[in-house]
Every structure is written in C-alpha cells, then in structure tokens.
Amino acid sequence: MKCPKCQRPVDHEAESCYSCGYSEVEAAAICGGNVVLLNRIHDAAHCLRKQERDDLALTLDQLELKFPQMLFCVYLGTLPPHLSISELGFWLLNHGQVKGAEYARPNENAILVLMDMNTKQIGISLGYFAESLITEEDAYRALMMARPNLVNSEYGEGLERVFLRLGKTLDRKGRQLRKLTREQFHAGLSGNNGPVLDLPHPFAPPLTGERATMEESLKSA
C-alpha cells in the first residue's frame, strides 16, 4: 500500500502517512468534507462521445451483472496541477456517492478508474474490498492493455478494455476464493480443534478468527 500523495509505502491500519502525514483529513481539507454525487460514468472532461459512453455503460452493466457486489465507475476530468488522480481517487471513494449504487454496492467495493486529461494520466482507485481482490500488478496490466487505445485518444474503448480486463481478474479471483473457502471448510470439518462451520454455503463469511488467514492467503495468491 502506498500513500496517495507521496506514493511511499504505508502500513495497513496506519492513521496517516509516516512520510508526508497525508490522511483523509488532508484530503478533505483540499477537496472538501462534503459528499458529492457521481454518475457511474462521470465525464467532467467531456472527452467521451455518446457512442463511446453507451458502449462503456453496456460493459459496466455486464460487469455489474456478473459481479453483483462490485461497484464500477469512471471519473474523467481535467485536474488542477496540485491535485493528483491518486489523491482524487482517495477522496472520491470516501466522499462520493455513485448514483444508483447506494446500498447494493458500497464504496469499499468500488473500482474507480480516473483519467486526468491535463497530465494524460490514468489510474485505478480501489475501495478496501476491491483492493483485496485486485493486486497492483493486476491493475497495472489492465491499464497497460488500454494504453494503445488511450494513446490514440480512443478513450471509450480504452476504458472498456481496462474494465474487461479487471473483470477477468475478478473472475479468476472469485474461482480461487471459492476453492479456497471450500478447502477451509473441509479443513474445518476434518480438524477436531477448529470450529465446525455450520454454514454450508461456500461464500459464508469466514469466522472472525480466520479473517487473518484469509487475508494472508489472498495476498499470497
């Protein structure tokens, strides 16, 4: 994990960046402490044509169907020089409210793709839950997939590629997790010391004590 401002590593559960002291408080100070309402495809830079927008919306629809918990959204803007897209992503995920996603898809399940048309930067900001599913490497690969399109100013198609690639990543992760939970379930059944899971559903939330192992296995995966 890195600091959205200085990009130096940050401990998990750190209250603020050890290097630069950045935290949500500073973000709120810069961008505001209020809640903002976002469109799922928020094109503040007006760089998507109608057709591109429709196609992208279709792709997001499909992804939402496939991943009912996840929130997929886009912010395209021209950012002021002192604001990086990583900071904006951090702030938007904590202060933004995507229309239509209110309860079913909380922001911690969000995958927000941001683009700054000024600096020609693209990035992916992740909520806590999404972060546990998508590694930095996965996210970077997804961006790289879209680079040729973006270089050619085919923003709509580029964004679609990013999301589709992330969809594949989620799909893979989902299958891994399903297997993992099943194994854990069986391990729990066979081991006499562990508590027997009485939830037959493979997606049953792991017990609190097992959360750490879950996270460990996710990271190693």
Q: Which of 38, 124, 159, 197 binds another protein (CB under 8 A)?
A: 124
Q: Which listed range, 36-44, 48-56, 73-81, 200-208, lies at the site for another protein (CB under 8 A)?
A: 200-208
Site for Zn ion in 21-40 (CB under 5 A): 22
Q: How many CB atoms lie within 10 A of CB 64?
A: 18
* Smallest distance from another protein to CB 51, Å: 18
**Closer residue to another protein, CB minimum distance, 35 or 196:** 35
**Distance from the first to the final alpha carbon of the chain:** 16
Residue 79 near residue 40 (C-beta atoms within 8 A): no
Of the candidates 187, 22, 39, the one whose C-alpha atom is nearest the C-alpha of residue 90 is 22
In the block, residue with structure tokens 């930067």: 121
Q: d(Cα 92, Cα 96) in Å, to the nearest integer?
A: 5
Q: By Cβ distance, which residue is nearest to Zn ion?
A: 3
Which of another protein, Zn ion, none does residue 107 bind (CB under 5 to 8 Å by kind)?
A: another protein
Q: Which residue among 16, 19, 149, 217 contacts Zn ion (CB under 5 A)?
A: 19
Alpha carbons 85 and 183: distance in angstroms, whole number? 40
Choosing from 73, 76, 126, 159, the residue that interacts with another protein (CB under 8 A) is 126
* Closest approach of Zn ion to the CB of residue 6, in Å: 3
CB closer to another protein out of 144 and 196: 144
Residue 6 interacts with which of another protein, Zn ion, none, CB < 5 to 8 Å by class? Zn ion
All residues at 6 or more sequence positions from 16 whose CB lies less than 8 Å from its CB, including other chains: 22, 23, 25
